[in-house]
Structure 1
Amino acid sequence: MRASRYPPSCRAVARTACASCVHRESAMKTILVLAWDAEDTSPFDTAATLAHRFGAYVVGLGPPSYRAVSVAWTDVGMGAPFDTPLADDEEERKRMAGLRAAFQRSMAAAGIAEGQGDDTSPSATWTELQNAVPMAIGSIGRVADLMVVPQPGPLPRMPESLFEGALFDSGRPVLLVPAGRHAAVGKKVVIAWNGSTETARALSMAMPLIKAAEAVEVISIEGAMVQGPSSDELATALRRHGLSVSARHCGAGGKSTGQAMVDEATKFGADLIIKGAYTQSRLRQMIFGGLTRHLILSSPIPVMFAH
């Protein structure tokens, strides 16, 4: 039998998360959440909001250390993505303690009890994956209905490699949360439609959020579509679920397709965007830009991605 590469605490969390996860179309019952900096608790607060909505079990996951992220980048032939010295072990312990305390404060402020709870009341627990490779977040996330992470970027923001590990290695939807307070997530939802397989998959995974929303709009941007159904056709299909859904196909107006999508979603008053990630290749988007990459790095609105 092959030995697990995760510490016992993480294996235990994976087992309990599996046991407590109830797969229903109408609910997201297990939410895995990671923050990078204790100064930004927006992922914790957002996870708490969703936990109340669905009666979910929240697993707060301590992030990999700066050292682990640096080693992972070196292994693929790249330098460390940091222009500051790596934190020593004592600094890492303080960082992890600060994140754990921030998670516990967020859950307590939201009235979420510590422990596993039941299928109707939200509950929360904390575990650490401090010395594991960054991609391990995706493996742990395979037993979650939703993963919540901060918006990536250069320090002091979370490295983009962690977001990609969550997205590509979990097979689960990833909710990316920009810094700041997001009082409501999922009340007014925009589906960033481009006709693609990736966005169709994201849409399927997001149905619990879509069905719980107060208003839904399908928005497509001229120049960002692939061959596939139109935004009007998608809206018609969603109405068959008994949902009130509007649709718009918009021009970019001289802006990038990513900025045009953000502007149109803001105009709708969206507090959540749903998008399939990387219809174009990651390399192409890194070189030439694209709708996915703009939303990953620059959206002021939380975005739920799937691939």
Structure 2
Amino acid sequence: MKSILVPVEEHLLIQPVLETALLLGRALDGYLEGMAITPDLPPYIASDIAIGDISFLDPEVRRQRAEAARRGFETFMTAQGVPQSGTGRSGLSFGWRGGDLAEDDFVGHYARAFDITVLGRPSDESHHPRPPTVEATLFESGRPVLLVPQTPPATLGTTAVIAWNRSTETARTVALAMPLLARAQRVVVVDFEDWGVSGPSVQDLSRSLTRNGLSVETRSLPNPHGHAGEAILSATVSLGGDLLVKGAYTQSRLRQFIFGGATSHILLNTTVPVLMAH
């Protein structure tokens, strides 16, 4: 996990995103690449339809936003003593993807070439990270996303909590998280009574992780009674977790939108970094 993508957009969580991305980069001795992003262009634009702020359609505005994003990213990395990547450089370094603002769909595709993408916790409120960026990256990249809460963590992955629902998505997420799990001082696998899908037990996963050299604890907790996301976050905080590992959207995105679900709740409410994959 040496290649880290950091989409940059002006919002209230950009500082926590940069700080957490740097924590990850330092932990893994990795390369951090920034890129300037913007919402997807509407499929059509009619002059008599109000669609909100469309200033990002103006080429000069797009150039200015891309340049501001680059300056902010490079200024932060330089101030933190991170060297700019050069030909053949290995270890902690940073770079910037040039060009125009990248739309969400492109971010999802481009992220396939990276080990992980760092994004802020999404919200429908203005000046916050946008849900479509997170969804595009989760569904299109095939790679994990590290979601950053509003307050940046002091540590990352010292105590890793795995929310085990036995699903394919969570199994994939655990596999992708192994570089961070291998560094953790403590790994706790949590499951809930009568929650999740059919599959290997928490003990089965624990044995597999132990064979990979991890020291693992397990916690089996009472049925969350429809509040799995809230129960997972509460358990993570009570265990002192500074990283939550969970598969994204075991239920369909539409079902979660209509009825709610653990992924949706965690995306909108987490106070700890979350590593997710679909």
CA distance in 2 between partners of 1:60 and 1:268 (Å): 33
- 2:28 is the counterpart of 1:29: no
Distance verdict in 2 for CA 1:38–1:111, change over 3 Å: farther
Extract unaligned runs of 5+ from structure 1.
1-27
CA distance in 2 between partners of 1:117 and 1:174 (Å): 27
CA distance in 2 between partners of 1:93 and 1:140 (Å): 20
Extract unaligned runs of 5+ from structure 2.
none
Whether the aligned pair in 1 keeps the contact of 2:36 and 2:102 (CA below 8 Å) is no
Q: How does 1:1-307 map to 2 (within 5 A)?
A: 28-37=1-10, 39=12, 40-64=14-38, 66=39, 69-71=40-42, 84-87=52-55, 89=58, 91-116=61-86, 120-128=90-98, 130-154=100-124, 155-252=126-223, 256-307=227-278
Distance verdict in 2 for CA 1:245–1:94, change over 3 Å: same
* Partner SS for 1:279: coil
Count of aligned pairs: 271
* Partner SS for 2:54: coil
The range that moved more, 225-234 or 257-266, is: 225-234
* Partner SS for 2:97: strand
Distance verdict in 2 for CA 1:170–1:87, change over 3 Å: same
CA distance in 2 between partners of 1:281 and 1:217 (Å): 27
CA distance in 1 between partners of 2:229 and 2:99 (Å): 33
Q: CA RMSD in A?
A: 2.3
Whether the aligned pair in 2 keeps the contact of 1:57 and 1:116 (CA below 8 Å) is no
Q: CA deviation at 1:50?
A: 1.4
Distance verdict in 2 for CA 1:42–1:35, change over 3 Å: farther
Whether the aligned pair in 1 keeps the contact of 2:242 and 2:273 (CA below 8 Å) is yes
Whether the aligned pair in 2 keeps the contact of 1:219 and 1:248 (CA below 8 Å) is yes
The range that moved more, 243-252 or 209-218, is: 243-252
Report the TM-score when normalising by structure 2: 0.89
Whether the aligned pair in 2 keeps the contact of 1:232 and 1:248 (CA below 8 Å) is no
CA distance in 2 between partners of 1:220 and 1:133 (Å): 37
After superposition, what is the alpha-carbon deviation per residue over 1:43-72, rounded to whole angstroms, capped at 9, x for unaligned? 2211111111222111001112x4xx2515
Which amino acid in 1 is paired with 2:189? V
